[in-house]
Chain A
């Protein structure tokens, strides 16, 4: 059977019509060739973890003096010196705290490490200067937990008011058997808990964009046809009604009770509080299990991606890239494949905004991943060579504008055959996941290259509001004749902008 397939493929390659197809083929998307190409742009280094220790990295915090703190799923907090050095084999690790309760979110402030662990938000301080935490101050422990392993709590850095945002996974990812499961809450510096959004299922990470708006990733499952990146607008409903009952605890208005078997667009038009996913990360195509979020505010040190979001992916051991824009008051945008080949399933990602280093941590305990090591701590740096990419996709009333990182070759970028589009959505339902449905085939009517060659305006027939628009630009070349590093993007068209 296998042999047969190989023969068939070989025949395809020889066939005259297949030759034309091959010319348009982009860079290899997987395997050693793809990793070698990636290495031209980004330098990925695995940092040795403390010998003999199980270091399933669950949180990463940056400390003064180029120290990096990591927390592990077993609950240890370690401080690393030398993580920025050329020779990472010389890193020095110091254990700061032990056996806390599965921390997922940590930052450094005012000489303390603050950490969101399963039962509470906690401040850890070394008051006697011996290098070990001795004060463990509980800031807030108001949310419910009942002993279910799936009741994870992911926390952010402080926002502009000093509040930490915590997303609370459902019990077993299906139920709300404890108060405030399925909610995002804000924790004030004084320890007050402010329930902020309802509608959460199973988060994999949480973070902010450059404006300080907070986003989280939610995994495919009940009421989530696919995984997605969601915007936590205060007061909003995020789509999963399982935890709605907690609203009554503080006399809040009842969150929406959407209809199963419908579409996100139809239901969110009924319920104005329902904020649709900002960017859907199509299941199985972009990834299977999105996790941590980091924003590029490095002013070019991480590459030409100012203010874009970088999203970890647990199953595929990758980092995806997201550009966002606001249309009619809602966030939306595109996701692109970006970095791959990490050694375990990614959970936390942390950008050093000064230095432009991205730290990532991984574990594949309990959930499998393409990266085959049980855990990993890695560092990625931009090498300074701009890859040829779609920088971003932006919606227009009659299509899209695609900005490229290199000036494009006008002939290929102006050729309609260089692009293909398809669009789809998912069933919005109480069952687990969804097939792709309502497929549509919008067509590119014209492609106009800007004078500087950096932008291409695509006029499209048949845009579908609410659909994910999958744009493949496999024919576009830069002036040197190179194909795109990644030639496809998925744009979630929540809103079609009005004509200007």
Chain B
């Protein structure tokens, strides 16, 4: 009696079963990171409230097929987490079903995805073996345009090299493009280096009142609002140190807007935003956001690592400016150093804050973290400890950043570890052919460090105190490493100063003390 009813029901619900399949795929694979409710588990990107599952389904299909890597902004937060590719695991039908489920459940209004579309995207991306980046995907499949205050934005590119802003009226444009997104980006230029761009538009002021513009860029440029040059960044350099914030009084309506920008080489960044009379935060007109914005970059609160109760703080992790085998020490007197165990050298010295742990301790911790304090001095680069003769090959290091560059090289010395004293101050230990070396650092005075080098064994050892990065100037028996750091040898210690190198040779059993002080 009941069986026919059941069969009838099964037949009648075949469509629902297809949708159920998508939920099943989602709940067996996607759920591990995106969560049963699509809100993302513990620091993983949500699907709910995200623009990513919406709009062109090709974008989502590519992410599922080949995966995704690198930083991505999702629902106002930056994530840097890899999405593993599923193209080799899931059929076109399963991907279509899962994405249809995701779009219906977590991205209301986004339409169903057909297996045929998945099939065509799979065919079109067959050669693609690496995961996609957010920038690539958004370039091919942008989010639906959002309006900014810039109306009729046009970008004009010029080719050339300048040290200051040129007179653009005398230059010949190399490229002119409408930028309907109303967003300014150096990526709109077809060149990466040696170019200038001018953007012109009407800025729409929604009411009378004070508008505060914020402007920063890499390398330099000038901002004109209502026909007036209100801010200029001069010289070559990164964003951060030269940021300008300028208030302007505007009347409601459309006012002329112009941004001039020059990129010399290296990174290219523009940060441009404004705060209207009613705004609490900056609205960004550039693709890169500066500090204090609505969805501005990293939402991580810092985790300061600092000396406590007179005991030095330490930090072994990837520290920007030195090698991957880095050891940081932050002393109670506010001096800090980073030691490279690869090069057996203190390579960075700075004052103020030691390190911020948030970068490596939240999410997966990709990348290098720079010192948190000020005036970082790069003392040396490369191997800093050498014996009396060239290494015989008894100690080998493996080097190279790509498989075709790998090599085994003899090295003069290798890192053997460190000993902490009662205050957490380190003595680094190094050994080479015929010698051992200890390298002790203790805080001294208000802003200094005392370094004691001691050699043992039967061969002399030469230690590079500074190399390459800064000119070394000898003055009154001391040596200046740039404007901030002075090395003062104690009596009887005589380092050898060359143009930009400072070395010290110790005989077996010899010890040398050097005072480091910051200005």
A136 interface neighbour in B82, B317, B418, Cβ under 8 Å: B418
> Would you call A177 and B401 a contact (CB within 8 A)?
yes
- Contact between B416 and A138 (Cβ–Cβ < 8 Å)? yes
A180 to B403 alpha-carbon distance, docked (Å): 10
**Interface residue B494 (Cβ < 8 Å from any Cβ of A):** no
B89 touches A432 (CB 8 A): yes
Interface pair B44/A368, CB less than 8 Å apart: yes
Are B3 and A149 touching (Cβ within 8 A)?
A: no
The answer on a CB contact under 8 Å between A431 and B85 is yes
- Give chain A nearest CB distance to B111 CB in angstroms: 17
Chain B 2-43 per-residue mask, 1 if CB under 8 angstroms from chain A, else 0: 110110011001001001100000001100111100001111
User: Are the CB atoms of A427 and B88 closer together than 8 Å?
Assistant: yes
A99→B316 contact, CB < 8 A: yes
- Among A8, A101, A366, point to the contact of B316 (Cβ < 8 A): A101
Q: Mark B292-322, 1 if CB is under 8 A from A, else 0.
A: 0000000000000100000001111110000
Residues of A within 8 A of B519 (CB): none
A1, A15, A136: most-surrounded residue (chain B CB, <10 A): A136
Q: Does B163 contact A (CB under 8 A)?
A: no
Does B341 belong to the interface (CB within 8 Å)?
yes
Bound complex: CA of A297 vs CA of B515, how far in Å? 57
> B32: which A residues are within 8 A, CB to CB?
288, 315, 368-370
With CB as the reference atom, state the residue of chain A lying closest to B416.
Answer: A138
Contact present for A134 and B419 (CB under 8 Å): yes
B362 adjacent to A365 (CB under 8 Å): yes
Flag whether B224 is at the interface (Cβ < 8 A). no
Judge whether B81 is part of the interface by a CB distance below 8 angstroms: yes
How many residues in B have their beta carbons less than 8 Å from beta carbons of A?
76
A74 an interface residue at 8 Å Cβ cutoff?
A: yes
A8-B9, A142-B397, A435-B90 are known contacts. Are A374 and B406 too (CB-CB below 8 A)?
A: no
Binary contact track A101-139/B, C-beta < 8 Å → 1, others 0: 110000000000000010110110001100001111110
In the assembled complex, A20 has its CB within 8 A of some CB on chain B? no
A11 touches B5 (CB 8 A): yes
B334 at the interface (CB under 8 A from A): no
A149 with B89: CB separation less than 8 A = no
Q: How far is the CB of A406 from chain B (nearest CB, A)?
A: 32
Residue from the list A1, A14, A137, A173 in contact with B417, Cβ < 8 A: A137
Given A364-B42, A368-B35, check contact A178 B408 (CB 8 Å): no
A221 touches B84 (CB 8 A): yes
B10 surroundings in chain A (CB, below 8 A) = 8
Interface SS of chain A: helix, strand, loop or mixed? Answer: loop
In the docked arrangement, what's the CA distance between A365 and B362, Å?
A: 7
Q: Which residue of B lies closest to A143 (CB)?
A: B398
Chain A residues near B40 (CB-CB < 8 A): 368
Q: Which residue of A lies closest to B80 (CB)?
A: A149
Contact of A1 (CB < 8 Å), options: B6, B16, B362, B416: B16
Chain A residues with a Cβ closer than 8 Å to the other chain, count: 78
Contact A120 B325 (CB under 8 A): yes
Q: Is B400 an interface residue (CB 8 A)?
A: yes
Q: With a CB–CB cut-off of 8 A, which chain B residues contact A370? A: 32
The reply to whether A432 and B363 form a contact with Cβ atoms under 8 Å apart is no
Contact with B along A269-304 (1 / 0, CB 8 A): 000000000000001100010000000000000000
Q: Given A179-B399, A248-B406, A315-B32, check contact A119 B85 (CB 8 Å).
A: no
A172 within 8 A of B: yes
B260 within 8 A of A: no
List of A residues within 8 angstroms of B87 by Cβ: 431-432
Residues on the B chain within 8 Å of A133, using CB = 420
Contact check, A365 vs B364: say whether CB atoms are below 8 A apart: yes
Establish whether residues A54 and B361, one from each chain, have CB atoms under 8 Å apart when the complex forms: yes
Q: List 14 A-B contacts (CB under 8 A).
A: A8-B9, A11-B2, A12-B6, A15-B6, A75-B317, A133-B420, A138-B341, A141-B325, A141-B341, A141-B415, A246-B403, A364-B42, A366-B43, A374-B42
17 additional contacts (CB under 8 A) given A8-B13, A364-B42, A368-B34:
A75-B317, A123-B417, A135-B419, A136-B420, A141-B414, A245-B403, A250-B408, A315-B32, A365-B43, A366-B43, A366-B365, A368-B44, A372-B41, A431-B85, A432-B85, A432-B89, A435-B90
State the 7 A-B residue pairs at the shortest beta-carbon distance, nearest first.
A245-B403, A368-B41, A431-B88, A179-B398, A366-B364, A101-B316, A137-B417
Give me the interface of A with B, judged by CB distance under 8 Å: 1, 4-5, 8, 11-12, 14-17, 54, 73-75, 98-102, 117, 119-120, 122-123, 127-128, 133-138, 141-150, 172-174, 176-180, 221, 243, 245-246, 248-250, 283-284, 288, 315, 364-370, 372, 374, 427, 429-435
Q: Which residues of B contact A (CB under 8 A)?
A: 2-3, 5-6, 9-10, 13, 16, 19-20, 28-29, 32-35, 40-44, 67, 69, 81-82, 84-91, 129-130, 305, 313-318, 324-325, 341, 357, 361-368, 396-404, 406-408, 414-422, 429
